[in-house]
A and B are shown apart, each in its own frame.
Chain A
Amino acid sequence: MRSSFLKSAITGTIAVAALGCGALAVAAETEVKLPEVHWGFKGPFGTYDRGAAQRGYQIYKEVCSACHSLNLLSYRNLVDLGLTENQVKGLIADIQVPDLADDGSAIDRPARLSDHFKKPFANELAAAAANGGKAPPDLSVIIKAREDGPNYVHAVMNGYVPFDKLTPEQIKESGVTKDDNYNTYFPGHRIAMPAPLADDKVQYADGTKATLEQESRDVVEFLAWASEPHLEDRNRTGVRVILFLLAMAGLMYAVKRSVWADKH
Chain B
Amino acid sequence: MASSHGAPPVFKNKVVAWIDYRLPIFSYIEKEYHTFPTPRNFNYFWNFGAIATVMLVLMIATGVVLATNYTPHADMAFNSVERIMRDVPQGWLIRYLHMNGASFFFIAVYVHIFRGMYYGSYKAPRELLWILGVVILLLMMATAFMGYVLPWGQMSFWGATVITNLFSAIPVVGDAVVTWLWGGFAIDNPTLNRFYALHYLLPFVIVAVVALHVVALHVHGSNNPLGIDPKGPQDTVPFHPYYTMKDGFGVMCFLIVYAAFVFFMPNAMGDVANYIPANPLVTPNEITPEWYFLPFYAILRAIPDKLGGVLCMFGAIAVLFVLPWLDTSRVRSCMFRPVYKWFMFVLVADVLVLGFCGAHPPEGWYVPISRICTFYYFFHFLILLPVLGKIERPLPLPPSIADAVLSKKVG
Contact = CB atoms under 8 A, between A and B. Distances in A.
Interface in A150-189: 187
Contact of B259 (A6, A9, A245): A245
A94 interface: no
A12 B255 CA distance: 26
Contact of A237 (B263, B277, B364, B365): B263
Residue of A6, A10, A18, A71 ringed by the most chain B CB atoms within 10 A: A6
Contact of A249 (B92, B93, B256, B335): B256
Interface string A62-77: 0000000001100001
A264 B360 contact: no
A12 B345 CA distance: 9
A16 B335 CA distance: 21
Contacts of B83: 72
A241 B263 contact: yes
A230 interface: yes
Given A3-B43, A24-B365, A13 B348 contact: yes
A27 B365 contact: yes
B369 interface: yes
B132 interface: no
Contact of A241 (B259, B357, B360): B259
A260 B277 CA distance: 53
Contact of B92 (A18, A27, A230, A248): A230
Interface of A: 2-3, 6, 9-10, 12-14, 16-18, 20-21, 24-25, 27-28, 43-44, 71-72, 77, 137-138, 140-141, 144-147, 149, 187, 229-230, 233-235, 237-239, 241-242, 245-246, 248-249, 252-253, 255-256, 259-260, 263-264
Nearest to A15: B349
A71 B82 CA distance: 11
A98 B83 CA distance: 22
Nearest to A143: B275
B246 interface: yes
B228 to A, nearest CB: 14
Contact of B275 (A145, A234, A248): A145
Contacts of A249: 249, 252-253, 256
B8 interface: no
What 5 pairs across the A-B complex have the smallest Cβ distances? Answer: A238-B263, A17-B352, A249-B252, A145-B275, A252-B249
B275 A144 contact: yes
A140 B83 CA distance: 12
Nearest to B251: A252
Nearest to A252: B249
Given A44-B264, A238-B259, A263-B40, A256 B365 contact: no
Interface residues of B, number: 51
Contacts, number: 124
Contacts of B349: 13-14, 16-17, 20
Nearest to A249: B252
B348 A144 contact: no
Interface string B74-89: 0000010011011000
Given A24-B356, A27-B365, A252 B245 contact: yes
A71 B79 contact: yes
A18 B356 CA distance: 9
B263 A44 contact: yes
B262 interface: yes
Contacts of B249: 249, 252-253, 255-256
B364 A27 contact: yes
B318 interface: no
B242 interface: yes
Contact of A230 (B86, B255, B356, B365): B86
Given A13-B348, A263-B242, A242 B259 contact: yes
Contacts of A14: 349, 352
A127 B366 CA distance: 41
Given A252-B252, A263-B237, A263-B242, A17 B405 contact: no
Contacts of B245: 252, 255-256, 259-260
Interface string B248-283: 110011011001101110110000110111000000
Nearest to A238: B263
10 contacts: A10-B345, A20-B369, A24-B366, A24-B369, A235-B264, A242-B263, A249-B249, A253-B249, A259-B241, A263-B40
A252 to B, nearest CB: 4
B36 to A, nearest CB: 16
Contact of A259 (B43, B242, B255): B242
A237 B264 CA distance: 10
Contacts of B356: 17, 20-21, 24-25
Interface string B88-110: 00001100100000000000000
A25 B86 CA distance: 37
B231 to A, nearest CB: 17
B310 to A, nearest CB: 25
Contacts of A149: 272
B353 A256 contact: no
Contact of A144 (B43, B237, B267): B267
A77 B255 CA distance: 32
A12 B253 CA distance: 23
B92 A17 contact: no
A146 B264 contact: no
Contacts of B263: 44, 234-235, 237-239, 241-242
Contact of A147 (B253, B272, B348, B366): B272
A18 B353 CA distance: 8
B409 interface: yes
A230 B85 contact: yes
